[in-house]
Amino acid sequence: MKKLIIPILLILISGSLKAEKLESPSGNFVLTFAVDQGIPTYALDYKEKPVITESKLGLELKDAESLLSNFEVASVNRSTFDETWKPVWGEVSEIRNHYNEMAVNLNQTTSDRKLIVRFRLFDDGLGFRYEFPEQDSLIYFVIKEERTQFAMAGDHTAFWIPGDFDTQEYNYTESKLSEIRGVMTDAVTDNVSQQTFSPTGVQTALMMKTEDGLYINLHEAALVEYSCMHLNLDDENMIFESFLTPDAVGNKGYMQAPCHSPWRTVIASDKAADILMSHITLNLNEPCAYDDTSWITPVKYIGVWWEMITGKSTWAYTDLPSVKLGETDYSKTVPNKTHAANNEHVMEYIDFAAKHGFDAVLVEGWNEGWEDWFGKSKDYVFDFVTPYPDFDVKKLQSYAQSKGVRLMMHHETSGSVRNYERHMDQAYQFMVDNGYNAVKSGYVGNMIPRGETHYGQWLVNHYLYAIKKAGEYEIMVNAHEAVRPTGLCRTYPNLIGNESARGTEYEAFGGNDPDHTTILPFTRLIGGPMDYTPGIFETDISQLNPDNTSKVNTTIARQLALYVTMYSPLQMAADLPENYKKHLDAFQFIKDVPVDWDNTKVLEAEPGDYITYARKEKGTDNWFIGRTNDENARESTISFDFLPAKKKYIATIYSDRKDSHYRDNPKAYQIMKYLVDSKSKLSQYCAPGGGYAISLIEVDDTMSTKKMKKM
């Protein structure tokens, strides 16, 4: 027996199999870390169910020994952290940041290099990252690939979009993990702009559900000076592995110690609502970088935009290309009669915004250069300060100011990032001088420098540079086509909006799937708010442009609900004023709904099927409810027990009718009023592609409720 026992002990010692465990504050999550034969591994359980089975950690370096093996544990540091912080804007007025931490200090025996893997375990999931401390044996290094694994415990149902280094603008596919390869090969691969990795590559945030009802979400937080992470799936073993966005020559990241990676996040629960209410992404980011945030305010806006998206109007002043930026003699060109950004038309939008209480008017197509861009001039770039002849900056700014409305700037970079950086100070100063305090930036097209993509380290650095530079001028940023959010809005709350997903504009390009907005809160919105641009009432695009036969896959009631379910402190009423004037009774909800909240409840949720939110308006006792539905008719059943006891509310319900349907009868809606309190319950029909919206206004002494029906 002695001959057998001694070799086994030697193997255990040399393999460093002693497991280090970490529990979440509630004890529901248990993390296990070990070094197995020199290879760092981790696993995560939730209520004794496996979330992540044993998975490898490490990075492959270029022209150097990789940080994958030959490690031993030097020390383990543990700590607990608990704070409550107040976001500048958000879904709630306070956020608790409570976690147990374990920092594992590793030595690589073959190189004497040091690596720290830091784990933070919250009651809603896990965050971990790689840290490279200052050391003589590792200073400058290039990442060839990050090899972080996320091993799944089964063939889960996943809600995914294909891996792509330039866009997230896809409808989601719901399938088993084992089916991703087949779906990608059959239907998706040809449309992926940079599909240079395996046909099982997907983007984060990735949402999954196990057969026994566990919800799992994989993403990243605090993406700074690093490439955006995709996930490749080994569908024989059900193991995801990180795959970083490469640069023009194929490298994944240029690093200088001391430095660290972004956080890799795993959110899990047996309740779908807990995924939606997780604050891990925000909590893993640094506190607000600004001492004074008084200039950062939520915005509800309309815009000269949808008419160009549908093809009713144009961005360009003339069909003829410019000769040279800033030197074109427009007296020798023929103005385009459909150019939307003209003085008279913009003033109509300003009047509408002022009458209905909107904060701002976005105007696209105001500056020179759109002719060249649409003319596919290879060398053309915008300068962001030269208006077309029919757009009088000073006149419009003065008119907007007289109406109590702001104009919102638009900067389309056309993907020429260095050009934008060269003009940035001048462009932001131009905004300040002319009364603009918010900008929608766009990055449509292939990137310049050539070969770079939207989600590589170089562009990740640029997006943050633009936000910081805007902060110097007290300007809020709404970035479109940028890298997907990872919670940086906590640190830089002037990042007030992002697109970075398939938004409403695609309703004019063929339509979004009806279940799209029941998935986005579980995926794209895990990283931060989205400028989805809801509020489309005219669902037949041919009514705006006879040449466009697209249909908006929604009912009007669901368009109202999106203002609650698709959280953003920047919300647009995207349709044309004339379409709102036809349905002013429904438009009232868009006027009433706030864009900043004290509290949020998820009343119902199932990814791909339905979501029902209730949100309390910041600074009042009023609540608003939104419900979005997939392509199937459903009954929504909710309780109003979140309301304070002994208070009464007038509930105005904007809902589908029994004959509503996103394809056949999208404009059919009804509006009902009831008197409700905390004991009230509602059973409400939701049409295919439909939903409902409710305003709950606290009753005061000035309101008459005698004839109002009680619920």
Q: What are the catalytic residues?
A: 505
SS3 (DSSP) at 315: coil
Q: Is the dihedral of CA 544, 547, 552, 555 positive or negative?
A: positive
First to last CA, the chain: 77
SS3 (DSSP) at 97: strand
Tokens 């059959």 sit on residue: 186
Rounded to whole angstroms, the Cα distance separating 650 from 552 reads: 31
Rounded to whole angstroms, the Cα distance separating 409 from 428 reads: 10
Q: Cβ(316)–Cβ(339) under 8 Å?
A: yes
Rounded to whole angstroms, the Cα distance separating 463 from 472 reads: 15
Which of these, 371, 255, 365, 374, lies nearest to 304 by C-alpha position?
365
Q: Cβ(569)–Cβ(299) under 8 Å?
A: yes
Which of these, 305, 315, 302, 310, lies nearest to 551 by C-alpha position?
310
Q: Give the chain's radius of gyration (CA, Å).
A: 26
The kind and range of the H/E element at 264 are strand 263-269
Cis omega before residue 205 (within 30°)? yes
Which of these, 131, 99, 123, lies nearest to 263 by C-alpha position?
131
* Cα angle 697, 699, 705; round to 5: 110
Rounded to whole angstroms, the Cα distance separating 75 from 98 reads: 23
DSSP state string for 498-524 = E--S--GGGGGTT---TTHHHHGGGTG
> 106 forms bridges with which residues in the sheet?
73, 115
Query: Across the beta sheet with 253-256, what order do the strands follow?
Result: 59-61, 140-146, 253-256
Residue 315: CA count within 13 A, CB half-sphere: 21
Which of these, 453, 467, 407, lies nearest to 434 by C-alpha position?
407
SS3 (DSSP) at 116: strand
Rounded to the nearest angstrom, the gap between the alpha carbon of residue 495 and the centroid of all alpha carbons in its chain is 11
Burial letters for 381-393: b for 16+ Cβ neighbours within 10 Å, e otherwise? bbbbbbbbbbbeb
Rounded to whole angstroms, the Cα distance separating 341 from 363 reads: 6
Rounded to whole angstroms, the Cα distance separating 695 from 653 reads: 7
> 540 forms bridges with which residues in the sheet?
551
Q: Cβ(408)–Cβ(301) under 8 Å?
A: yes
Which of these, 638, 637, 692, lies nearest to 668 by C-alpha position?
692
- For residue 582, what are the CA distances in angstroms to 401, 549, 563, 577? 28, 21, 20, 9
Q: Cβ(159)–Cβ(519) under 8 Å?
A: yes
What single-letter DSSP state applies at residue 47? T
> 497 forms bridges with which residues in the sheet?
478
